[in-house]
Amino acid sequence: MILIDGKKAAAELRAELKEEVAELKSKHNKVPGLTVILIGDLTPSQIYVRNKEKSANEVGLKSEVIKYADSVEEKTVLEKIQELNSDETVSGILVQLPLPKHIDKQKVIEAIDPSKDVDGFHPMNVGNLSSGYESSIPCTPLGCYLLIKKFESNLNGKKAVVVGRSNLNGKPMTQLLLKENCTVTITHSKTKDLKAECLEADIIVAAVGIPELVRGDWVKKDAIVIDVGINKTDKGIVGDVHFEEVSKNAKALTPVPGGVGPMTIACLLKNTIDCFKRSQI
């Protein structure tokens, strides 16, 4: 079994992006800028945002975090987004989720200019992705896609099973695999026989949020298995795939931690740079 090393792949991607930022700087005399809006004091969100800021600085992006208290009014956030939409030094805007209950997530997502939507959540980007047009692509599925492609460049005709149908992971992942000419099955909590579906797959992407759901005898020999899950358990952080069992069967598998996670942030930087490049055309 080959371990797909997301930490290494993310470091390589960051190194490429760093070079690209340096080139953009010498060509345009400015660098792409990422602005993150963080509302409230949820510890995981604070950690994610700190890591995003650190990685953005590392590759040479201009990075800014705007913080609001939990009690901030929706109107204030929407006005700030409008201001950032028209700020030429801001290439990408990300509003860290989850939001406090009194703020309408969809309104916030739709307020972001689609050309600065580095999370790829705006309906315009969702539609463009599913139509096969250029768009921002949600960072986690983009990271999964790049890991799969790095391991196997030609996915023509492969049978892929995506476990989970969230807007964040499962649905965009399905679109990316379709674009690569895979035959894709999207499965979810109401799927009748998940094991039987997985046993058909050359590629499995598990994005569920249930610790070690995908077992060793669900995976055929030579399958590529991508584990998106991050689940806190008594034995520490585990994925949605039973690593020990599946590693005995699969051709390739991502570990948790050290698999998809590091690629997610690297892809956020990539999306910011791509938004900048599109704005310079």
| Calpha distance 165→65 (Å, rounded) | 30
Q: Does 207 bind ligand NAD (CB under 6 A)?
A: yes
State the nearest-atom distance from the C-beta of 67 to ligand NAD, in Å.
22
157 Rama class: left (phi>0) / alpha (psi -120 to 50) / beta: left
Residue 65 or 194 having the CB closest to ligand NAD:
194
Tell me which amino acid residue 109 is: I
Does the annotation mark 106 as catalytic? Answer: no
Catalytic-labelled residue, pool 62, 80, 96, 175: 96
State the nearest-atom distance from the C-beta of 167 to ligand NAD, in Å.
8
Helices (H), the chain: 6-28, 43-58, 74-85, 105-111, 123-131, 139-151, 170-179, 194-199, 243-247, 260-279
Catalytic-labelled residue, pool 113, 119, 202, 240: 119
Mention every residue, 6+ apart, whose C-beta is less than 8 A from residue 167. 121, 126
Catalytic-labelled residue, pool 52, 80, 116, 270: 52
Q: Residues 240 to 269: which contact ligand NAD by CB under 6 A? A: 260-261, 264
Q: In this structure, what token pair is assigned to residue 19? A: 């070079």
Half-sphere exposure of 141 (CA within 13 A, CB side): 27
State the nearest-atom distance from the C-beta of 88 to ligand NAD, in Å.
30
Binding mask 146-185 for ligand NAD (x = CB under 6 A): -----------------xxxx-xxx---------------
Does the annotation mark 119 as catalytic? Answer: yes
Task: Kindly list the residues in this chain that would bind ligand NAD in the complex (CB under 6 A).
Answer: 140, 163-166, 168-170, 187-189, 191, 194, 207-210, 228-231, 260-261, 264
